[in-house]
Amino acid sequence: DADVTQTPRNRITKTGKRIMLECSQTKGHDRMYWYRQDPGLGLRLIYYSFDVKDINKGEISDGYSVSRQAQAKFSLSLESAIPNQTALYFCATSEARGGNTGELFFGEGSRLTVL
């Protein structure tokens, strides 16, 4: 089983619908992230959480919200999806920074299409 699991892997929805992407991890890491990948723009940080009670906005948080339900679970919501939120979304985890490189471990991605 994957260490970082994202569901769903693919989703097609319509403008205005509410969408939730879920992420769970078995690595025991405290830190979790949501990134968005678009061609030519790379990976951009949407939200991140350094522990269950800590949620922070990233570069492009407008139109998104998150919930850290437990150390192992971090979900991303689009309250009212719009076509320019069509993208590949990645969840990632890392250990706390102190003493290590902070390597990110990514899930396999959730492809979202908003019509």
Which spans of this chain sit near another protein (rule: CB under 8 A)? 4, 31, 35, 37, 39-45, 48, 58, 90, 92, 94, 97, 101-109
- Please identify, using beta-carbon distances, which residue of 83 and 102 lies nearer to another protein: 102
- Please identify, using beta-carbon distances, which residue of 40 and 84 lies nearer to another protein: 40
Residue 67 has φ and ψ, to the nearest 5°, of -140, 130
DSSP state of 71: T
Residue 84 DSSP SS3: helix
Question: Looking up tokens 């970082």, which residue turns up?
Answer: 4
Report in angstroms how near the CB of residue 103 gets to another protein at its nearest: 5
Report in angstroms how near the CB of residue 16 gets to another protein at its nearest: 29
Residue 19 and residue 41: Cα distance in Å, rounded? 23
